[in-house]
Structure 1
Amino acid sequence: MAKTIIRVRQGAIAYYLNESSTGAKNNGRRFILSRTSDHGKTKDGWIKVNTTEHQALIDAASDADQFAACNNLYASKKPRLHVDRRSIRGLAGKWEGIAFPLRVTHGRDATRNANNEIVSRHAER
């Protein structure tokens, strides 16, 4: 699970440096610098950060220095777009709710199947 190491904000822009494990490769440590704008409403993207860059971000003295270092590092690399993983599966199939549990895609208890019908999650089973 990811652990946030640095969170710095200035105005509507915020940077987050996260550490996540990848298993045995690279001692299990990977660093990602994410950027949000519009007070966290828009996820602009993320970049990979190596251990040298990670140490430079941590060694910055104040929040203003950390923000400047994050801003320079983010500008120096091509950011990758944030992908919303909730919408990867697509529309629910007709089989959902029979062989597999229903999934919620809109609203609290609703899901859409392939026929674009709204089915209650708590329907008769």
Structure 2
Amino acid sequence: MAKTILRVRQGAIAYYLNESSTGAKNSGRRFILSRTSDHGKTKDGWAKVNTTEHQVLVDTVGDADRFAACASLYASKPHRQHVDRHHIRGMAGKWEGVAFPVRVTHGRDTTQNANAENVSRHETR
């Protein structure tokens, strides 16, 4: 789980410095600098930050100086696009409800359709 270390905002643009989880095989800490625009509605992307750059951002005093440091660091690094992991599961297949639990959908009609479809699949086997 990511832990936000600092957040700095100026106008409609905001920068977030997060410490990301590393997993079992890596013991070092990883830092990510994310940028949002349009008051947080648009996620512009993220860039990897090493520990030295992380320490420089944390040690910077004052919001204006910190924002300028984040902006210059973000511009100097290659950044990646934000990927919405909420929709990563893909289209429903014949495995739905067998290999993975049935999807929880929102709305009364879609939930009833998913339950009816799941029941009809099990009856045909």
Cα gap change, 1:2 to 1:120, in 2 (>3 Å): same
Q: What's the TM-score once normalised by structure 2's chain length?
A: 0.80
For these two proteins, the number of residue pairs brought into alignment is 116
SS of 1:71's equivalent in the other structure is helix
Corresponding residue SS for 1:103: coil
Partner of 1:115: none
Give the % identical residues: 71
| 2:114 matched residue in structure 1 | 119
SS at match of 2:33: strand
TM-score by structure 1 length? 0.80
Distance 2:33 2:9 in 1: 13
Distance 1:102 1:39, change over 3 A: same
Q: Which residue of 2 aligns with 1:16?
A: 16
Q: Where in structure 1 are there 5+ consecutive unaligned residues?
A: 112-117
Do the aligned partners of 1:19 and 1:32 also contact (CA within 8 Å) in 2?
yes
State the partner residue of 2:85.
85
Give 1 or 2 for the bigger CA radius of gyration: 2
Return the structure number with greater strand share.
Answer: 1
Q: Secondary structure, in 3 states, of the residue corresponding to 1:89?
A: coil
Change (3 A) 1:68 1:90: same
Shift of 1:59: 1.0
The alpha-carbon deviation at position 99 of structure 1 amounts to 4.8
Q: Which runs of 4+ in 1 moved over 4 A?
A: none
Greater per-residue helix proportion: 2
Structure-1 separation of matches of 2:101 and 2:50: 41
Other-structure match for 1:60: 60
Change (3 A) 1:99 1:20: closer
Counterpart-to-counterpart distance in 2, 1:90 and 1:24: 28
Structure 2 unpaired stretches of 5+: none
